[in-house]
Amino acid sequence: MNRRNGISWFACNLLWVLPLALLGKPNFVIFLADDLGYGDVGYQGGDVPTPNIDSIAQGGVTLTDGYVTCPVCAPSRAGLLTGRYQQSFGFWDNIGPFRVSREVEPGIPLEVPILSERLKPLGYACGLFGKTHEGDAEEMMPFNRWDEFYGFNNGASNYLADMNRPHNPIFHNRRIISQSYSSRGIKDSEVSRKGVLLRDRESYLTQVLAERAVSFIERNQGKPFLCYLPFNAIHGPFQAPEHLYEKYAAEKDHKRRLNMAMLDSLDQAVGVVLDALKRMGLEQDTLVVFLSDNGGHEASPNLPLRGKKATYWEGGLRVPFCMKWPRRLSAGQIYREPVISLDLLPTLVEAAGGHTDPTWKLDGVNLLPYLLGERGDPPHRELLWTWGARKAIRMGRYKALSQNQGRTWELYDLQKDLSEEKDLSKQQGERLQRMIKRFDAWEKNLMPQQWGWNKALGYEDPDFGQPRPYHEPGYFEKADK
pLDDT at 190 over 50: yes
pLDDT at 448 over 60: yes
Contact 389, 92 (CB under 8 A): no
Task: Report d(CA 341, CA 353) in Å as an integer.
Answer: 20
- Per DSSP, the three-state class of 129 is strand
Task: Confirm whether 380 is a catalytic residue.
Answer: no
Average pLDDT rounded to a whole number, residues 94-117:
96
Contact 157, 230 (CB under 8 A): no
Task: Confirm whether 133 is a catalytic residue.
Answer: yes
- Per DSSP, the three-state class of 292 is strand
Task: Report d(CA 62, CA 290) in Å as an integer.
Answer: 10
pLDDT at 22 over 50: no
**pLDDT given at position 480:** 60
CA distances, 78 to each of 89, 114, 270 (Å): 10, 8, 23
Task: Report d(CA 228, CA 125) in Å as an integer.
Answer: 11
Question: Hey, which residues does 401 pair with through a beta bridge?
Answer: 392, 410
Q: What percent of the chain has pLDDT over 90?
A: 91
pLDDT at 481 over 60: no
pLDDT at 274 over 70: yes
pLDDT digits (tens, 9 = 90+) for 144-186: 999 999 999 999 999 999 999 989 999 999 999 999 999 899 9
Classify the C-alpha dihedral 115-263-385-435 as positive or negative. negative
Average pLDDT rounded to a whole number, residues 92-117:
96
Confidence of residue 20 (pLDDT cuts 50, 70, 90): very low
Confidence of residue 6 (pLDDT cuts 50, 70, 90): very low
Contact 326, 284 (CB under 8 A): yes
Average pLDDT rounded to a whole number, residues 235-256:
98
pLDDT at 345 over 50: yes
Identify the active-site residue in 70, 73, 126, 227: 73
Confidence of residue 24 (pLDDT cuts 50, 70, 90): confident
pLDDT at 16 over 70: no
The strand pair at 459-460 and 383-387 is best described as: unpaired
pLDDT at 7 over 90: no
pLDDT at 53 over 50: yes
Task: Report d(CA 335, CA 347) in Å as an integer.
Answer: 16
Confidence of residue 474 (pLDDT cuts 50, 70, 90): confident
**pLDDT given at position 473:** 82
pLDDT at 443 over 70: yes
Task: Report d(CA 389, CA 358) in Å as an integer.
Answer: 31
**pLDDT given at position 399:** 98
What secondary structure, in 3-state letters, does 395-440 show? ECCEEEEECCCCCCCEEEECCCCCCCCCCCCCCCHHHHHHHHHHHH
What secondary structure, in 3-state letters, does 358-374 show? HHHCCCCCCCHHHHCCC
Identify the active-site residue in 12, 70, 126, 133: 133
CA distances, 410 to each of 302, 306, 423, 431 (Å): 21, 14, 6, 11
Contact 172, 142 (CB under 8 A): no
Q: Which residue has the higher pLDDT, 188 or 287?
A: 287
Helix (H) or strand (E) holding 98: strand 98-99
DSSP assignment letter at 240: E
Contact 337, 379 (CB under 8 A): yes
- pTM for the model stands at 0.94
Task: Report d(CA 310, CA 295) in Å as an integer.
Answer: 8
Nearest to 454 by CA among 189, 181, 92: 92
**pLDDT given at position 10:** 39
pLDDT digits (tens, 9 = 90+) for 219-242: 999 999 999 999 999 999 999 999
Domains by residue range for the chain, with CATH: 26-380+455-480 (3.40.720.10), 385-447 (3.30.1120.10)
Confidence of residue 479 (pLDDT cuts 50, 70, 90): low
The strand pair at 383-387 and 339-340 is best described as: unpaired
Task: Report d(CA 111, CA 415) in Å as an integer.
Answer: 40
**What is the rounded average pLDDT for all residues in the chain?**
94
Nearest to 157 by CA among 138, 177, 137, 173: 177
Within 221-343, residue ranges assigned H as helices are 242-247, 254-279, 314-317
Task: Report d(CA 340, CA 321) in Å as an integer.
Answer: 9
Contact 211, 124 (CB under 8 A): no
pLDDT at 384 over 50: yes
DSSP assignment letter at 39: T
pLDDT digits (tens, 9 = 90+) for 405-441: 999 999 999 999 999 999 999 999 999 999 999 999 9
Helix (H) or strand (E) holding 386: strand 383-387
Q: Could you report how far apart the first and last alpha carbons of the chain are, in Å?
A: 71
Average pLDDT rounded to a whole number, residues 284-312:
96
**pLDDT given at position 17:** 40
pLDDT digits (tens, 9 = 90+) for 128-139: 999 998 999 999
